[in-house]
Amino acid sequence: MRLTNLAATAAVALLLAGCTNETLDTVDKADVDLRTVKSKTGYELSGRIVDKMRTLDMPRTSPIMLRILKEEGLLEVWKADSANRFQKLRQYAICAWSGKLGPKVKEGDRQAPEGFYPLAPGQMNPNSSYYLAINTGFPNAFDRANGRFGTNLMIHGACSSSGCYSMTDEQMQEIFALARDAFKGGQKTIQLQALPFRMTAENMARHKDNPNYDFWKNLKAGYDQFEITKRPPEIGFCDRKYVFNQQGSVMNPTGACPADMSTPPALSAALSAYNRKYDEDYAKALSKFKGMAWYEPSEAERKAVVAKTREGRDLAYAPTGSSLAAGKLMKVTELEKKESLRAEIEEARKAAEVQKAELDKISKSGRAVPVPAANPLPRPELPSTMTAAAPPAKTGSLFAALFKRTEPEAPPVDPKITEVSPDPAAQATASTPVHKPAPHGTQPVAARGMPLGGAQGSTPPPASGKSARAGATAAAPVPTPNPAEVAASPNGDAPAGEAPADKPKKPFWKIWAN
């Protein structure tokens, strides 16, 4: 059986694979020109990729495996060689993934899945709105056993993600062709390993305080076995956990693991040696990160890292940077303050969403939407000159009403105003000093309510209509003459600018009205 063959090669594979951490290789650029692609499903791989497969002794239709490393932002394509051991053929930079490190839990949380998922031919979608798509199969038996749910979680093109792993269209064209050829060679399902990061001792120590740490330790068991054997592990589920390469009875995802479940002896020995080295490296990493903690960036912070790449691109193009580029190691005390502030912001955002949902519910029900209370502060009182009531309109006889022209009343004159814009003729006259005695019977108008000379008495009642405007002009306040200037004048005349007020004339219609 397959497990027997796997165990027989485990010890040799351990020596070949070694226990050192894998370093990040340069990402591969998709060797595709979409302008020349006539059929997305019939596209043939470039000569460069075919030559590399030949060099690595990989049959063109041999099985493949996909591995996602979320934190690094990488999607790897591993392909079996003639010895049925998998080697890395391609490594792509993921264009966009949403959310943060950690599994998908529920619909709408924007999280991209983490776990082990089989991809069957029926999950390949050549007619996707996102160029090409592969359904991850989330939720699997593990997700359902743990109450996790969600739909339409894909690996697709278009570089825009909401819970998916989004690639460029060129990358998806190559991945789709590699999967198609593997299915042609007889592969039933392609294993997808969606992992938070390379599960090395140092990375695990760096994330030891993450609330998903126990879940990641479960995934690490499968990661370790692939690193040792270089073959995708067989997946099982029991006790709401993943189990890998286990022999025994039928397993129940929600039930206890079978008592007779066991690991093949050769694989168990290889794992023991692997874990001893891991424990040593983990202890060193804990010492290295003492007093430090990893700040996990938000999706917005990852987008900011690659914001410049969006310039000149379509609005739908929404890449996200890697968590390694946007996150950082911080002192524990500093991280606690930062996380506290972020929690407050998140709480305020959720409160705003709840309030909006409640208002939408009220609006749909037809009930009145609550209106904020009026401003309790008193309004400022307007000056008396601005609130004075208009004088009552005069009434005349019926005959007078028939011939009366209705014109707007002149606004009340503010006693504070001391300057009046004279007509051009008056300006010309005022510009030349004139010393003439005031006509008999006229009284100069006092400025600011002060009598001029010894003149006293009440102001005549205002006229209506045109005479009201004329009267308003004539009765406009004039500055009080300077006593020194009057004394200096030879004849004691008032200085220029004090024109005598004309007597108001009776409008012609008043004669008819009376």
Q: For residue 223, what are its two tokens?
A: 């990661």
The three-state secondary structure class of 279 is helix
| From 19, 95, 159, 164, the catalytic residue | 164
For residues 299 and 320, the answer to whether their CB atoms sit within 8 Å is yes
Spatial distance between the Cα atoms of 177 and 32, rounded to a whole number of angstroms: 11
Spatial distance between the Cα atoms of 412 and 480, rounded to a whole number of angstroms: 22
Q: How far is CA 331 from the centre of its chain?
A: 28
Does 159 participate in catalysis according to the annotation?
A: no
- From residue 410, how far is each of 54, 112, 146, 391, 476 by CA, in Å? 101, 75, 83, 10, 13
HEC string for 234-274 = CEEEECCEEEECCECCCCCCCCCCCCCCECCHHHHHHHHHH
| From 156, 159, 207, 238, the catalytic residue | 156
Backbone angles phi and psi of 119, in degrees to 5? -110, 115
Spatial distance between the Cα atoms of 212 and 253, rounded to a whole number of angstroms: 20
Spatial distance between the Cα atoms of 463 and 507, rounded to a whole number of angstroms: 9
Does 156 participate in catalysis according to the annotation?
A: yes
The three-state secondary structure class of 143 is helix
Using CA of residue 12, residue 18, residue 22, residue 25, what is the dihedral sign?
negative
Q: How far is CA 167 from the centre of its chain?
A: 21
Spatial distance between the Cα atoms of 54 and 47, rounded to a whole number of angstroms: 10
Using CA of residue 442, residue 445, residue 449, residue 452, what is the dihedral sign?
negative
For residues 404 and 397, the answer to whether their CB atoms sit within 8 Å is no
Neighbours of 302 (CB within 10 A): 24
Neighbours of 383 (CB within 10 A): 9
Q: Find all residues with CB under 8 Å of 510, minimum gap 6, and list them.
A: none
- From residue 90, how far is each of 134, 231, 393 by CA, in Å? 17, 16, 94
For residues 170 and 30, the answer to whether their CB atoms sit within 8 Å is yes
Spatial distance between the Cα atoms of 225 and 221, rounded to a whole number of angstroms: 6
The three-state secondary structure class of 211 is coil
Closest CA to 320 of 21, 496, 71, 500: 71
Q: For residue 484, what are its two tokens?
A: 């020194």
Give catalytic residue positions: 156, 164
